[in-house]
Structure 1
Amino acid sequence: MKIAVVSDIHGNLLALEAVLKDIKQEAPDVVVNLGDCVSGPLWPEETAALLRETNWPTVRGNHDRFLIEDPIDKMSWSDAFTARSLSPESHEWLKTMQTDIRLTDEIFLCHGTPDNDDRYLTEKVDGPKGHLPDEETLIAELKGEKAAIVCCGHTHIPRVVKLNSTGQTILNPGSVGFPSYDENHPLRNEMAAGSPHARYAIMTKADGNWTFEDKIIEYDWNAASCEAEKHDRTMWATGLKLGFFGPLS
């Protein structure tokens, strides 16, 4: 069995198209999407239209939720831009997303943590950046979820974490469309993948064992950066072009 795992596209159509091309070559049995699909100063409606065609199992990310639950005047700039850009069909599509998905007995999908789409599972945010929480904290954040593989996104940083005490694996594929950001909600966090590439992951089961592969894909990130700059989102433009700090606001 071969599964492609994508997450955090954030309206970056060019990155998504490059990932789709690579996924076609990989020919997985299924592709799953961990959410935060369209929010950003790029191509939200075009991205939504393409994703609607894929019919992938898709988890609702925190920004997907903001788009359907929050009044526009209470949204961040990027979410408000996205909400105004989306067609009625895309708004309805956002409402069909699930808060989590049990893909198989072995595989559980969520955006942040199993019970909260706005918490980081695979990144420590209350201390030095770029560090994993300890195993005790990770197990506590799983809130009793026993699936052998838990796939999550939200941090935009690729991770494969094996929990020694439970034997579980946590997979974070990183971000397809936005490699670096800074946000103030719920805590001030800075995340940076360190390069501008689009990222996703491949999980493969053979002879009863799972293997995990980070996929790092080139695309025209300069064009994506220019699109963000066109909308006066300079820090987005920097994050897209360099893979380092740019705020999600």
Structure 2
Amino acid sequence: MKIALLSDIHANLPAFEAVLEDLEKQQPDAVYCLGDLVGYNVWPNQVIGLIRKHGIATIAGNHDLKVSKILPSKGDCDTEENSEYAYKLVGSKERDYLLTLPRHLRLEFQLNDQQLHMLLVHGSPRSINEYLLQELSEDYMVDLVKEFKADILCSGHSHKPYHRIINSGQGGSDQFHHLINTGSVGKPKDGDARACYVLLTIDQSAGTMLKNSVQLEFVRIKYDVEKAAQAVELSLLPNAFADSLRKAY
């Protein structure tokens, strides 16, 4: 089974459209989005519309939940540059959709007479705002995957992709866990301005006792970065958001 994982689109329509075009070629069996459809750019409603049109199962990100505190713009008071403008662009129907998204998704596979548990979160299982950075200690991550019974833990939020394998086994018995950050479709922060998503392959050989039994590919997609950056500069959003798109920081 081939699963596509994507996250942190952040209202960047050109980037998301490029990823959707690539997904049409890849033909994954399932697509999941780990949140943050909005914020930082001017196309939140179009992005949400495409998520719903393509039936992509999605969880809430921290930026998605910000719309609960920021009402849609009425067009008569937005005259100064500010970061909240991105959330004021979100329409009423789209706002309702964001505020009903689940906080996490759990998938369970039955392979070779053993279960494989996959947990999809935005930040971490403990908090939507927590960053599960690659450099976190192994002890911390082992405690986390044990607490939440996750053989494969997938997150977004940091916009920095990685695949890390840890072993929670004891007494010579291996128990491998895969920690995956999907990177960001619409606002990469790893110095590579291309959109990023993950293709994960799970077959009958997948399990927790073999270190490399889960296959993973980070897919980078070129898109019209300048179009996205200029859209920011022509809006009431801070110009720094455009600079971060061009330089991927």
**Alignment TM-score > 0.5, same fold:** yes
1:43 aligns with 2:43: yes
Q: Would you say 1:174 and 2:183 are equivalent positions?
A: yes
d(CA) in 2 for partners of 1:42, 1:85? 7
- Using the TM superposition, name which of 49-58 and 221-230 deviates more: 49-58
- Determine the C-alpha separation between the residues in 1 that align with 2:8 and 2:248: 14
Look up the match of 1:7. 7
Structure 1 unmatched runs, 5+: 124-131, 180-191, 245-249
Which of the residues 90, 95, 106 maps onto 1:86? 90
The aligned amino acid for 1:145 is F
1:222 corresponds to which of 222, 226, 232: 226
Deviation readout 1:55-85 (Å, 9 max, x if unpaired): 21111111111212x2459xx943x323321
Q: State the number of aligned residues.
A: 220
The sequence identity of aligned pairs, in percent, is: 33
- SS at structure 2 position matched to 1:201: strand
Task: Write out per-residue CA displacement over residues 169-228 of structure 1, whole angstroms, 9 at most, x where no aligned residue.
Answer: 01111000001xxxxxxxxxxxx3111100000001234232000000000001111111
For 1:111 and 1:34, the matched residues in 2 are separated by 5
The answer as to 2:131 corresponding to 1:120 is: yes
- The 8 Å contact of residues 70 and 87 in structure 2, kept in 1 or not, is answered as no
Matched, 1:57 2:62: no
Q: Decide which structure has the larger Cα Rg and report it.
A: 2
Partner of 1:204: 201
Residue 233 of structure 1 deviates from its aligned partner by 2.0
Is the 8 Å Cα contact of residues 15 and 185 (structure 2) preserved in structure 1? yes
- Would the aligned equivalents of 1:52 and 1:93 in 2 still touch at CA under 8 Å? no
- Contact residue 14 and residue 224 of structure 1 kept, 8 A: yes
Partner of 1:111: 122
Aligned to 2:158, the other structure's residue is in SS state coil
Alignment-mate amino acid for residue 216 of structure 1: R
**SS of residue in 2 equivalent to 1:206:** coil
**1:41: Cα distance to partner?**
2.6
The TM-score, its normalising length taken from structure 2, stands at: 0.83
Cα distance in structure 1, aligned partners of 2:127 and 2:146? 10
Of the three residues 133, 138, 148, the one matched with 2:136 is 133
- The secondary structure found in structure 1 opposite 2:108 is coil
Q: 1: distance between equivalents of 2:42 and 2:192? A: 19
Distance in 1, Cα, partners of 2:82 & 2:59: 23
Aligned 8 A contact 1:38 1:44 in 2 = yes
Structural mapping, 1:223-242, within 5 Å: 223-231=227-235, 232-242=237-247
Match of 1:193 in 2: 190
Change (3 A) 1:20 1:139: same
Partner of 1:188: none
Structure 2: tracts of 5 or more residues without a match: 73-80, 110-116, 169-174, 207-213
**Cα 1:97/1:113, change in 2 over 3 Å:** same
Contact 1:203 1:211 in 2 (8 A): yes
The structure whose residues are more often helix, as a share, is 1
TM superposition score normalised by structure 1:
0.83
CA RMSD of aligned residues (A): 1.9
